[in-house]
Chain A
Amino acid sequence: MRDFLLAKLGHTLIVLFCVLTLVFVVLHLTGDPVMMMLPSNASREEIDALTKSLGLDQPLIVQYGRFLARVARGDFGVSLQHQQPAMGLVAERLPASMLLAGSALALALVVALPLGILAAARRGSALDRLAVGLAALGQSAPIFWTGLMLMLVGSVILRLLPTSGYGTWRHLILPALTLASYPMAAMARLVRSGMLEVLDADYVRTARAKGLPEREVVLKHTLKNAAMPIVTVIGLQFGLLLGGAIVCEMIFAWPGVGRLMIFAIYNRDFPLVEAAVFVMAMVFILANLLVDLCYAWLDPRVKLQA
């Protein structure tokens, strides 16, 4: 187990390093950050002063070293627009994003698990076909369209829920439902196919032959073995969830990290973009690490392969 943990941790560090290098390269080599940070009518003196204060007159390798040192201290500089430390601004918005992503993931699981199990247990029934159809639709609709249509129905036509904003549970419903739509569909499909595969296995036939009630066969003998691919997919979904959260926050004016980042891009507020990208990448990497650990816990064979 220790070797497995160390290997995973090493891998995580390598990925993190790559992400940081990528952020540095993208923001520092493609054009002059000073020109992007200053208004177009800035004077020569202003340009020189900012270049010097950012250390951009130093050789690239020195800048890179300083960048890594700053990041290690959690210092991403001061947001140009808000005149506050960029990391602080992102940290302020993080709980809202986590609330949205967490609710969406929970919602997706609560719907997808029973739906997938029932569809597999009653293969070919009307319920099965409905589940498969809904899942195909859910996986094809772009998330921003799902969001707008839910807003149209829930807020504009039925006038049940607020169109946007943050604060009460009523504000959470539409964004969470929107964000959940894709992972819900993907998971329902996967639970169904995972269950179908296992339902044909010999030990399931044995369990049935022993005279166990079907309910017990499905829930006790099948579900546990079908859980593996589901956990993997939850891990894979996390990246999509993160990307989806950005779109969702934009649609519903949800005050999360994604929305902060997009507005920082519009305003060319690069310290803030750097901090936001870094935090989102961190969350994603940590979530994947967690999934890997879950995986090893569910299936002891994984540890041996590492």
Chain B
Amino acid sequence: MGRPRVPTFLLLAAAPVVAAVICALLAPQLAPHDPTRGDLSARLRPPAWTAAGSARHLLGTDQLGRDILSRIMFGARVSLLVGVVSSLIGGTIGLALGMLGGYFRGRADSVVAKLIDVQLAFPFLLFAITVIAVLGPSLPNLLIILALSGWVTYARVVRGQTLSLRETDFIQAARGLGCPAWWILLRHVLPNVLSYALVIMTTEIGRLIVLESTLSFLGLGVPPPTPSWGMALADGKEYLIDGWWLATFPGLAIMVIVLSMNVLGDGARDLLEPRLRGRAGRG
């Protein structure tokens, strides 16, 4: 059986993500203006294609005369950084706990299961808001809190997979040969559950980007003057009547990225699942 063909719509969905990554990496080179420097003589300029717009500011300017396009490009840095790093941390925690619970069963497993239960029983935004209210908003605090929000999904799926993997012949054989548990977990279990974790991660990044921008919108995200999409929207809310473009474009950026991530996640699952099902059948 050859490599599964990647459908065209997946390539289309990947385009905005690639564009956002390029924007984030090369923002200082690509952005037409300094995102934090305002020009008070050019406040609330509408986008270039409207009657009062100018080509100098393609998507217009905000209430302080800062270029919106540049702020969106720099904002991609915060959003993507937070999304990727916190899902990596959360994924690592979830993978570790899921594998430990699923492999050792017994007491370790019931501790993991209880932890999952408690976290699912508590609305996460409420937890995030409470913690940030006390610790104060900063990038490291945000990363840790968002990472804590995501581990459960990984842990549940990985735990289930590990539970069935530990009964397979090759794991039983490894145990029979006297391999230590850590070796079996790293060498035999991890490679088999990693693909599941990667599929979850695709959708998780999108979810975390929304969560980050929600916290920014509530004034609990990365503190100013660092540009972020959520904060741009919060600013735009005050100027909805005088400048619809302030809130519209940063929100559009979030929606397109999250939509792409969701489509990519669904697509990756569809591509992966038949293959994995086949493997389980053989094992």
Contact = CB atoms under 8 A, between A and B. Distances in A.
The SS class assigned to the B binding surface is: helix
Interface in B58-103: none
Interface in A1-58: 11, 14-15, 18-19, 22-23, 26-27, 30-31, 36
B247 A145 contact: yes
Interface residues on A, range: 35 or more
B122 A140 contact: no
Interface string B239-251: 0110010011001
Contacts of A261: 129
A174 interface: no
A281 B123 contact: yes
B130 A23 contact: yes
A18 B124 CA distance: 14
The SS class assigned to the A binding surface is: helix
Contacts of A243: 123-126, 214
Contacts of A284: 121-123, 126
Interface residues on B, range: 35 or more
Nearest to B220: A265
B131 A26 contact: yes
Contact of A251 (B121, B126, B237, B248): B237
Nearest to B206: A140
A280 interface: yes
A31 B237 contact: no
B167 to A, nearest CB: 22
A143 B214 contact: yes
Given A156-B244, A281-B126, A18 B134 contact: no
B254 interface: yes
Contact of B247 (A137, A148, A281): A148
Interface in A186-243: 239-240, 242-243
B125 A142 contact: no
B218 interface: yes
Interface string B126-142: 11011101110000000
9 contacts: A18-B122, A19-B121, A140-B262, A243-B214, A246-B126, A246-B218, A266-B219, A281-B123, A281-B126
